[in-house]
Amino acid sequence: MGAPSYRVGQVWEGIYRSLAPDIASLTNLPRDLRAELSNRFVFPGLQAIGQTVSGRGDTQKVLFRLPDGETIESVLMRYQRRRTVCISSQVGCAIGCPFCATGQSGFRRDLSAGEIVEQALFFARSLSPRGERVTHIVLMGMGEPLLNYDNVWQAIETWHDETGFALGARRITLSTAGVVPGIDRLSQERLPIGLSVSLHAADDALRDELVPLNRRYPLRQVLAACRRYVERTSRRVTFEYALIDGLNDAVEQAQSLARLLSGLLCHVNLIPLNPGAAECSRTAASYARSRSPREQVERFRGVLESWGIPVTVRLGRGADIQAGCGQLRSRQLSIN
């Protein structure tokens, strides 16, 4: 564009450190350069068209419209010391998990790196006037991050860049349904981000139903990739396990899960099924039993702990605002 090279640094600092809401706000740039940038680039590219806040005020979900009219969701979760943003990586999802509203809405397209990055920037700008900042990012929103690998990794590097957003790599977690080549590729990256794998079942027959990707990458392959990941990185893997009443929460299934994970550096997050998930699923009748009761959750946890496997029951957040992945978008699509 013929501008001095130092202007690049000014734009970068303005967007990622000063959290400018648009190009016009980059007042350290000449007016004519701002005008030319506005003509060439779309920033901001996300338009907030819907928002819900939980009754306790600790969870905020935002529905964004993209420049092509597609929509995605992001969620801000406030903890005592953390401000965690749950980020989407695709419009819809091709995995098709029957209890997931996003999976049941189908796949539309990958998000660009900019569309992924800007979700975090939106919440960073809203937190800044209160003296708060985004402390953690989890790629656990709409889509399968490892099926949009290049754009997701570019976004991660942008968030991590010390001259801009400057978020520590260990404060970023990527969640996958078990894309084996992606797990292997992730193990070779320089940034030590966290890896989370959604299991939801301890045998292939049930996981084929709950996570259809299992038909391509069965448990044996997924666990082998996780073991390679640990060997190469010395970092533990977190396994997510949604507990569905009467389907995958029996003591025998907990024992099978413990045997699968025995000897692996890992942590298990038990997640009682989002009570609103069935409402957004075309196969809702299959999951009418909803989440496992507290007593069964505790029995399941006890089995894992008896095997020496670290386990946490994830706190439910945002159930009153349909904060489960894809639920607000599904509602908007049904209205339209």
- Examine the domain organization and report whether 236 and 179 are in the same domain: yes
- Examine the domain organization and report whether 137 and 195 are in the same domain: yes
Structure tokens at 249: 């929460």
For residues 13 and 164, the answer to whether their CB atoms sit within 8 Å is yes
Set 36, 70, 73, 305: catalytic member: 73
Q: How many domains does the chain have?
A: 2
- Examine the domain organization and report whether 123 and 7 are in the same domain: no
- Examine the domain organization and report whether 89 and 212 are in the same domain: yes
Q: What is the mean pLDDT of residues 96-105?
A: 82
The CATH number given to whatever domain includes residue 171 is 3.20.20.70
Please provide the DSSP assignment of 58-70 as one string: SEEEEEEE-TTS-
- Examine the domain organization and report whether 14 and 93 are in the same domain: no
pLDDT value at 51 more than 70: yes
Q: What is the mean pLDDT of residues 51-77?
A: 94
- Examine the domain organization and report whether 54 and 22 are in the same domain: no
User: pTM for the complete prediction?
Assistant: 0.90
Taking phi over 0 as left and psi of -120 to 50 as alpha, with beta for the rest, 9 belongs to alpha
pLDDT value at 232 more than 90: yes
325 is catalytic: yes
Q: What are phi and psi of 59, to 5 degrees?
A: -135, 130
- Examine the domain organization and report whether 153 and 290 are in the same domain: yes
Structure tokens at 278: 């069935």
Q: What is the pLDDT of residues 162-204, one digit of tens each?
A: 999 999 999 999 999 999 999 999 999 999 999 999 999 999 9
Q: How far apart are CA 172 and CA 14, in angstroms?
A: 22
- Examine the domain organization and report whether 237 and 279 are in the same domain: yes
- Examine the domain organization and report whether 145 and 16 are in the same domain: no
For strand 136-139 and strand 107-110, is the pairing parallel, antiparallel, or unpaired? unpaired
- Examine the domain organization and report whether 170 and 26 are in the same domain: no
Set 86, 93, 280, 325: catalytic member: 325
**Domain residues for 241?**
45-335
For residues 127 and 137, the answer to whether their CB atoms sit within 8 Å is no
Q: What is the pLDDT of residues 277-306, one digit of tens each?
A: 544 444 434 445 588 999 999 999 999 999
For strand 59-65 and strand 47-53, is the pairing parallel, antiparallel, or unpaired? antiparallel
226 is catalytic: no
